[in-house]
Structure formats: structure tokens, C-alpha cells
Chain A
Amino acid sequence: MSSREDILGRVRRQLGRESAPADAGRDIDAWLAVRREGPRPTLDGELLSRFKEKSEALSTTVDVVAEWSAVPAAVARYLQNNGLPMQAVGWPLVSGHEWTAAGIAFQGRGAVDADLVGITGCYCAIAETGTLMLLSGPDTPASVSLLPETHVAVLAASRIVAGMEEAWNLARTELGVLPRAVNFVSGPSRTGDIEQTIVLGAHGPYRVHVVVVAGA
């Protein structure tokens, strides 16, 4: 007997049914059809200000600009103010911005170890917790938000949703199937393993900066 049959067989015996019952799966299909949400608070106020407040509590910095055309200059300003290099690796998806004009040497590709700044877009963001939702794909490689010491994300304000449930619904409606990786990023990487003392930059970025486009 294979381990699969052995394990499932024992689970069935413990549940008092020797093989899957005829109406098996009825409860399952019902639950999957309803997709009931658990209890959670309704968020008061405006989603952008909530997102900003929660992000900052996670040590993410947030800059709000009026329109898309202001993004490259805002990113350049952030890099300069923090003494960071003006070279960046980024998602091919965001390579259309006027990076060069803003003084940023931008390369649209997946990240390697030597890359110090990574620029990504953002599928949507969650106001409840100040979280970015990043989807992997050919134009949105996951390594860009992971390997560089600094992660800059560009986010359209209209893509801020209340909670994780709204984010799933958006993905279901717009994409149908999930990409290989859905990465929720909430601030810089951190660890508290030594004496429960929080330190930023364990394996992922030391800094996360979000440029929100208010009019988009």
C-alpha cells in the first residue's frame, strides 16, 4: 500500500467511513462556493491616510505625489536624500517612466546580488496593515523586492483596498488564476531572534519606500 493510501485510509477510518461517502464533497463545495469571511473591523476614514499611517508604523517611508509624471523625480529625491546610489534595477513593467531624465540609471530585469536599489510597481495595497501586494511574473520578477538593500515601490492610490479579502477578490476578478508567487510585503525585513530585540534588514531590504500617486 502506498503511503498516500495508508494515510488517507487511516484518516477515513478515524472519521468512521471506510471510503469517501457518496455525498462526499458536498460540505466542501458549499464552503468553497460561499467563501465566508471571518469577523474583522470595518475601517473608518480614507484608505490612503490609513495605508500611510500603518506603513509608517512598520518603518516604511511614504511619499505622495499628484501624478505619474512626478514619480521619477520623487524616487530620485528619496535616493539623494538618503545617500543611496542613483542606479537601480526594476520591474520591466515600470521601465516606461522617465527615469533617465530624473538622473536614475534604470535597468528593467530580475535582480542580482550586486543590485543595491530595486524599483517595483504594486498590484494593490492593503490599508488595514500597510501592506504591499506584489505578484510575480515575467514583467514583475520577485527578486527585485527582495535582494537589493533598498526597495522602492510605486503605487496608484486607487489600488489601495481595505483588507486582504478585497485584494483576493481583485485578483480573482482581474486574473482568474493566481501567479506563482503572491508576496505581501509589510515594511523592511526584520528579526527579533537575538534577545527579542528588533533589528531591520535580516535577509531582505533594510529600507522600503512607497511613492503613492494620488491622482491615479
Chain B
Amino acid sequence: MQIRSMFFKANASAALANPVLQGNLRTSKGKFVDKRRAAVADFEAEGGDFEAMRAAAAEVRNLVLKDLDLWLEKFESAATARGATVLWAKDGEEICRHVVDIARRHSVRKAVKSKSMLSEEAGLNQALEASNVQPVETDLGEYILQINDNEPPSHIIAPVIHKSLDEVADLFEKTHRKPRKTEIPELTREAREALRAHFLDADMGISGGNFLVAETGSVALVTNEGNGRMVTTLPRVHVVVTGIEKVIPTLEDLSLLLRVLIRSATGQHISNYVSLLTGVKRPDEHDGPEHLYYILVDNGRADLVGSQFQDMLRCIRCGACMNHCPVYQTIGGHAYGWVYPGPMGSVLTPLYNGLDKAIDLPHAATLCNQCGVVCPVKIPLPELLRKLREQQVEKNLRPWLERVAIKGWAWVAGKPKLYALGTWFGVRYLNWLAGGKNRIGVLGAAPEWTLGRDFPAPEGKTFRELYSTRRR
């Protein structure tokens, strides 16, 4: 996917000024938060300890990352023993090359896809189309985006959270050429019928992978719609595209991670379909793929191992961080400009694409730590954002005015008398601006800051003045 994160400020402003988007964001606001909170409360009412489970989940993910090379080899040998082919891809281009090769080898004309964020990273649909393979997205949300001229998703588990019922109804009427539906169940039924035909005549299924289980050489897929099952049951070829960090050790670890993932993502206790797929179909079996390929993708992940950002590789893609982020909730996901929005996206986008291409994302957060508190694998997201900000300063990637201002401040702060004089003037200037009130409506030096809020006025004297008069 073409990165547009360098235009974050402009995109965020446009999102704020878009009344339709703002209305849709208001409709969805808080729903995921309430569902997650209720699911955690239910779990604790049954005697469960959600915090202990988060700690255990983080521990399992850390255990894998500490020996990631060895776990990957373990997975590879177990999967190969069951008849799967394991391929490796350094970047998005190599993902596309592998998938197109596989499609050619098996004379594939149509590929049905279950959600894969990595295929978004790679721009896989465009590559397939260029090779005369028709890609069909089958997750309802992803399908809606595909028929809307390949619009990018705005949320990692609810891709059309930014769209209203009316917008979907218009789109279906235009695409399916059927009378306009106005109810969500009718629209869902119409999509079901359109997509069922594709499931039945596709030659290839492409899925992501929620987890790779090293013990058994399996991929675990979690869906509610059942499209994950369709894609891996009906076509004769199945390709799994997933990141190298998705490997976990055992089926016990899978059980633990599912408990935290599902509650954190949708607030369910269990998703409708959890499938664990191992190898190809037996000759006497009615369904299942004859050929199974895993494409294990780096695309920036390997370099994070052992680095100060390794914690980010624990991520299990639940979306809780964006659901709880005041910034994401206000601007939606598109403004972030790449595949992953919200706090996890603000960390991943600069790490995978270069800090210079996503200069504003580490600042697209209030550091309120709501994301850190809800993360099911305890990723310290605000801390990682702060480290990215530090790197920006070290690499001189901040605007020159800010750099000069901070250098100037540092110089003055090193000279106590000058500093005292500066604050003496500063306090009086701010009091003059406040005009006798305790707050300032328009701040002269930063008028944008006071567009939506007031700046508190100082008490009237500097700390130093107060200290010297009150000292005994």
C-alpha cells in the first residue's frame, strides 16, 4: 500500500471537517469499549483474573521473540512434515511474486480472500489483477471496501467502521444492480449471496493467520462470519500470508491467547469460528485444499527483534488500542495514511516505512496510556511513541522553528538570572492577555492551540517571586 502518512496533518484536518465521517464516528464511538469492559467483567465474575492472563500472554509472546529463529524453524519443519510448503518473503514485492507464482503453477483464475493485513501491506490485490487473477475480498467489511474502488480499511478488525448504513446501501445498489435495501440484515444477505458464488468457483483461498502454532505446524484463524472457513475449505489451493512474529509454541498457548485476543477485540467470550488448520486434505477427504503454502513475511519485522522496539512484535492485532484512543476516535483510521491506524499503527508505520515518511504519527497521541492499559499483551505503546519522538529529535527530523525554540529555551534555562527575567515578563504578558480572568481565550503565539480550549492564566507572580516572599 502506498504510504500517505506524511500528509497526516492535512488528512486529520480534512477528517475533522468531514461531517459525514464525524457522524459515523459518533455512531460507533464507545461500542467496542463497552463490549470489552463487559467481557472482562464477566470473566472476572466467574473467578477469572484478566490481569494475570494479560501478563501470561505477554510472557508467552516474549518467550517466542527471545528465540524467534528457532521457533520459526520448529514451525517450518512441523508444517512441512504435514505436506505444506513454507516460503519466505522479505517485503511486499516478494509476497506478490510468491502468490502470483503459486497462482500460475496451479492455473488459478479467481482467488477468494479472508482478511489479511499483510496483503494490504503488499498491495497484493493489484498484483493479482495485473496477472489476470481476480481477487475477491470476502470479509463483509473488506468486500464493501473492494467494491468501493479498493478503498483502504480504517480499522484492523472493523474495516468499514467509518461508513454508515446509507453509504453501504448506495454502494450495493450501484454494484449489485438490485433494488436498494435499507436494513442491515437485508444488505448482509445480499452480500452473502454475491460472495457464495465466488467461494464456489474460486481456485485459490488466501488468508492471513492469527497465530502459527510451532508444536503442530498449524495456522489458527479467528472469524465470526465464517469466511475464513470457506476460504480454507472450498478452493483447491490455500495460501497463508502472515508475519514471522505470529508464531507461538503450543496449543495451550493458543488457548490462552485466544481468551485475551477475542475479549480485547470484539468483547466476545469466543468468536464464532476458530479454525486450526494443519496440512493438506487426505485423498479420501471430500473437502479441504490439495495444496497449502505459508508465506512468512519479514517486511521490517526482523530488524525490530532485539531492538528497543521489540515489545511491538508482541502485538496480536486486536484493535483495542485504537478503540480506546481519543485521537483515533476523533479522526478515524484513514488519516494515519497506511495499513495500521491508531496507537499500534503510529508505532508500526514509522518503523516499517521510515520515520521521515511518518513524521507526525508519533505525535498523534496524547500519551494518556488508555492503549497501554487495555493492550492484551501489555505493549507499552506510549513509551514506544516517546522513543520514536526521541529518535526524531536525534535525527533532526523536527521542524526548524521547534528545534530553534527548544535550543533557545535550553540556553536560557542554563542561566538562572536570565530565566527569572524571562518568566517575570512571561507571567505578566499572560496576565495581560487574560485581562483579569483566570483563563486566556486566544493565545497570541499559538492561536491554534486555543481554538477548541482556553489556556489557564498564571497566578499573577512567578514561583521564584512567591518563594522569596514566603521564605522565612
Task: Given the known inter-chain contacts A11-B302, A203-B227, please indicate yes or no for A191 contacting B188, CB distance below 8 A.
Answer: yes
Distance between B250 CB and nearest chain A CB, rounded to angstroms: 5
Question: Of B68, B266, B269, B304, which contacts A192 at CB under 8 A?
Answer: B266
Tell whether, in the assembled complex, residue B288 and residue A3 are in contact, meaning their CB atoms are under 8 Å apart.
no
Tell me whether B113 is interfacial, beta carbon within 8 Å: no
Tell whether, in the assembled complex, residue A194 and residue B305 are in contact, meaning their CB atoms are under 8 Å apart.
no
Tell whether, in the assembled complex, residue A164 and residue B305 are in contact, meaning their CB atoms are under 8 Å apart.
no
**Of A20-28, A64-72, A76-84, A117-125, which binds chain B?**
A20-28
Q: Which residues of A contact B138 (CB under 8 A)?
A: 203
Tell me whether A146 is interfacial, beta carbon within 8 Å: yes
- 8 interchain pairs (CB within 8 A)? A3-B94, A28-B71, A35-B252, A38-B255, A38-B256, A40-B48, A142-B229, A203-B199
Q: Which of the listed residues B69, B191, B218, B298 has the most CB atoms from chain A within 10 Å of its own CB?
A: B69
Tell whether, in the assembled complex, residue A190 and residue B272 are in contact, meaning their CB atoms are under 8 Å apart.
yes
Tell me whether B361 is interfacial, beta carbon within 8 Å: no
Tell me whether A105 is interfacial, beta carbon within 8 Å: no
Question: Of B28, B48, B276, B287, which contacts A142 at CB under 8 A?
Answer: B287
> What is the bound-complex CA distance between A164 and B269, given in angstroms?
13
Tell me whether A216 is interfacial, beta carbon within 8 Å: no
Tell whether, in the assembled complex, residue A193 and residue B272 are in contact, meaning their CB atoms are under 8 Å apart.
no
Tell whether, in the assembled complex, residue B88 and residue A131 are in contact, meaning their CB atoms are under 8 Å apart.
no
**Of A94-102, A152-160, A173-181, which binds chain B?**
A173-181
Q: Which residues of A contact B275 (CB under 8 A)?
A: 181-184
Given A8-B72, A38-B256, list of 20 further CB < 8 A pairs?
Answer: A4-B88, A8-B69, A14-B303, A14-B306, A24-B67, A38-B53, A131-B274, A143-B287, A178-B216, A180-B288, A181-B232, A185-B272, A186-B270, A191-B188, A193-B139, A193-B141, A194-B165, A196-B31, A202-B224, A204-B225
> A-side binding surface: helix, strand, loop or mixed?
loop
**Of B122-130, B156-164, B334-342, B454-462, which binds chain A?**
B156-164
Tell me whether B246 is interfacial, beta carbon within 8 Å: no
Tell whether, in the assembled complex, residue B196 and residue A113 are in contact, meaning their CB atoms are under 8 Å apart.
yes
Residue-wise interface mask of A (53-75) relative to B, using a CB-CB cutoff of 8 A (1 in contact, 0 not): 01000100000000000000000
Tell me whether B393 is interfacial, beta carbon within 8 Å: no
Tell me whether B90 is interfacial, beta carbon within 8 Å: yes
Tell me whether A201 is interfacial, beta carbon within 8 Å: yes
> What is the bound-complex CA distance between A113 and B279, given in angstroms?
25
Question: Of B158, B216, B232, which contacts A193 at CB under 8 A?
Answer: B158
> What is the bound-complex CA distance between A146 and B273, given in angstroms?
10
Tell whether, in the assembled complex, residue B302 and residue A14 are in contact, meaning their CB atoms are under 8 Å apart.
yes
Question: Of A58, A187, A202, which contacts B140 at CB under 8 A?
Answer: A202
Tell whether, in the assembled complex, residue B49 and residue A39 are in contact, meaning their CB atoms are under 8 Å apart.
yes
Tell whether, in the assembled complex, residue A3 and residue B49 are in contact, meaning their CB atoms are under 8 Å apart.
no
Q: Which residues of B contact A194 (CB under 8 A)?
A: 140, 144, 160, 163, 165, 168, 184, 187-188
Q: Which residues of B contact A129 (CB under 8 A)?
A: 269-270
Distance between B32 CB and nearest chain A CB, rounded to angstroms: 7
Tell me whether B453 is interfacial, beta carbon within 8 Å: no
Tell me whether B74 is interfacial, beta carbon within 8 Å: yes
Residue of A nearest to B91 (CB): A3
Q: Which residues of A contact B27 (CB under 8 A)?
A: 195
Tell whether, in the assembled complex, residue A196 and residue B68 are in contact, meaning their CB atoms are under 8 Å apart.
no
Tell whether, in the assembled complex, residue A113 and residue B200 are in contact, meaning their CB atoms are under 8 Å apart.
yes
Give the tally of cross-chain contacts (CB within 8 A): 261
Tell whether, in the assembled complex, residue A199 and residue B188 are in contact, meaning their CB atoms are under 8 Å apart.
yes
Question: Of A35, A110, A192, A196, which contacts B286 at CB under 8 A?
Answer: A110
Tell me whether B89 is interfacial, beta carbon within 8 Å: yes
Tell whether, in the assembled complex, residue A189 and residue B224 are in contact, meaning their CB atoms are under 8 Å apart.
yes
Chain A to chain B: the 8 pairs with minimum beta-carbon distance, closest first: A204-B226, A38-B256, A110-B286, A202-B225, A14-B306, A193-B141, A129-B270, A141-B286
Q: Which residues of B contact A113 (CB under 8 A)?
A: 196, 200
Q: Which residues of A contact B66 (CB under 8 A)?
A: 15, 27
Tell whether, in the assembled complex, residue B144 and residue A193 are in contact, meaning their CB atoms are under 8 Å apart.
yes
Task: Given the known inter-chain contacts A137-B285, A189-B272, A199-B185, please indicate yes or no for A165 contacting B255, CB distance below 8 A.
Answer: yes
> What is the bound-complex CA distance between A25 and B48, given in angstroms?
33
Distance between A183 CB and nearest chain B CB, rounded to angstroms: 5
In B389-413, the 8 Å CB interface with A consists of none
Residue-wise interface mask of A (25-53) relative to B, using a CB-CB cutoff of 8 A (1 in contact, 0 not): 10110011001111111110000000000
Task: Given the known inter-chain contacts A32-B249, A182-B275, please indicate yes or no for A202 contacting B69, CB distance below 8 A.
Answer: no
Q: Which residues of A contact B185 (CB under 8 A)?
A: 199
Tell me whether B73 is interfacial, beta carbon within 8 Å: yes
> What is the bound-complex CA distance between A202 and B226, given in angstroms?
7
Question: Of A11, A28, A181, A193, which contacts B288 at CB under 8 A?
Answer: A181
Tell whether, in the assembled complex, residue B90 and residue A6 are in contact, meaning their CB atoms are under 8 Å apart.
yes
Residue-wise interface mask of B (145-166) relative to A, using a CB-CB cutoff of 8 A (1 in contact, 0 not): 0000000000000111101110
Residue-wise interface mask of B (431-444) relative to A, using a CB-CB cutoff of 8 A (1 in contact, 0 not): 00000000000000
